[in-house]
Amino acid sequence: MPASRLSGVIATAGMLLLLTSCGLVDDESPAADRASGRQPVASTIECATQGKVLGSGSTAQQNAMKQWIKNYERACKGVRIAYWGQGSGAGVAQFLLGETAFGGSDSALKPGQADQSKRVCPGGRAIDLPMVGGTIAIGYHLSGVHDLVLDAPTLARIFDSEITRWDDPAIKKLNPGASLPALPIHAVHRSDDSGTTQNLNAYLAGAAPEQWPYPKEKTWQGKGGQAASGSDGVASEVEGNDGAIGYFELSFAAARDISTVRIDTGAAEPVAATVQTASAGIGSAKVVGTDGDLALKLDYATKAEGAYPIVLVTYEIVCNRGNKAETLPALKSFLTYTASEEGQQALSGFHYAPLPVGIAAKVREVIPTLT
């Protein structure tokens, strides 16, 4: 058996164990409600009657998925959803093997992958449905500095090991009056293939092309620096090392109380990394997909007031036609919930950015057409 196929089988077996062992159920599960006498939370979710749905992929949306699954399963007793956060690359690969009902990816499918999907979507193809907005925070640990402003060219030079000390003139110019220490910069990046990395590469290439002449890939492109696995690994490195700087989703910064950089975009004021500013940043995106595919083109060089430019959108990759009959009703029911106003409003409490209203409306129009 080819290695890629074997890895898919192993991963699917793991998710099936999650489903059969109720591994996703915790103290806020339906069983706990019954044991404690709590009443289920009121919801407008339209439930499927039964089904087991497997998904895998982006770790950026993992915390959102955990909450969505919890909410959905509390309302829909006959359905079980499992999501395994393995990274965008693994999620796409597993979906294209036909091992999952949906894949989560922080970037849209490439044309070759869309063509490949026709083998697992009989009579159709895979499409990208935007579902989770994310803020890629630039976190830093610098004793005595609690407000730091950087711009795209300076960030590019830091992550490419061209600016190596915190008292560099380029950083001082952006932070007049700040007491910047004569400390080496400890720049940290992801060691694994990552949609978060791809979106940061895209931001730097789009907003500082002269300083970042690298492709927009899921692998890290800059020179030097320290590598760590996953957003949690990068956040740990930043948290534990004075002089460190790295990138990860805003929820990791919030969980560890890591300071984050304000970005000088050319707007009147530098923009902080927040849920609200990320939604504004995503709002400038344009739909470039066709025939139900809602792939977006983000404007990384935006200068709009209050629009944070380092954002990502996680897509749920599904078949537009050719879905398995035994999973389709539950899949459509679950995605209908995640794209709903109720599902999107739940995101902000976990440091995710709800989709802009217009984009969310388009997603809601496509989901009922899945067959």
Q: What percent of the chain has pLDDT over 90?
A: 80
Q: What does the pLDDT average to over 118-140?
A: 97
> Quick one: pLDDT at residue 14?
52
- The CATH classification number of 135-282 equals 3.40.190.10
> Quick one: pLDDT at residue 117?
98
> Quick one: pLDDT at residue 192?
87
Question: Is the per-residue pLDDT at 58 higher than 60?
Answer: yes
pLDDT tens track for 11-55: 444 554 445 443 343 334 444 444 433 334 446 799 999 999 999
pLDDT tens track for 247-266: 999 989 999 999 999 999 99
Q: Which two tokens stand for residue 103?
A: 């894949």
Going from N- to C-terminal start, the domains of the chain cover: 3-133+314-369, 135-282
Report residue 307's pLDDT band, with 50, 70 and 90 as the boundaries: very high
Question: Is the per-residue pLDDT at 7 higher than 80?
Answer: no
CA distances in angstroms from 67 to 18, 21, 25, 224, listed in the order given: 16, 18, 11, 37
> Quick one: pLDDT at residue 41?
44
Query: Rounded CA gap, 348 and 278, in Å?
Result: 11
Question: Is the per-residue pLDDT at 369 higher than 90?
Answer: yes
pLDDT tens track for 156-194: 999 999 999 999 999 999 999 899 999 999 999 999 888
> Quick one: pLDDT at residue 29?
43
Question: Does 3-133+314-369 carry CATH code 3.10.28.10?
Answer: no
- Tallying the residues shown for the chain, one arrives at 371
Q: Global pTM?
A: 0.80
> Quick one: pLDDT at residue 43?
64
Distance of CA 118 to the CA centre of its chain: 25
pLDDT tens track for 264-280: 999 999 999 999 999 99
pLDDT tens track for 189-237: 999 888 889 999 999 999 999 999 999 998 999 999 999 998 899 999 9
Strand locations in the chain, DSSP E? 51-57, 79-85, 102-105, 126-141, 149-151, 186-190, 226-228, 244-249, 259-260, 262-264, 286-287, 296-297, 311-319
What lies within 8 Å, CB to CB, of 176 at 6+ separation is: none
> Quick one: pLDDT at residue 36?
35
> Quick one: pLDDT at residue 230?
86
Same fold, 3-133+314-369 and 135-282: yes
CA distances in angstroms from 312 to 54, 55, 281, 286, listed in the order given: 23, 19, 10, 13
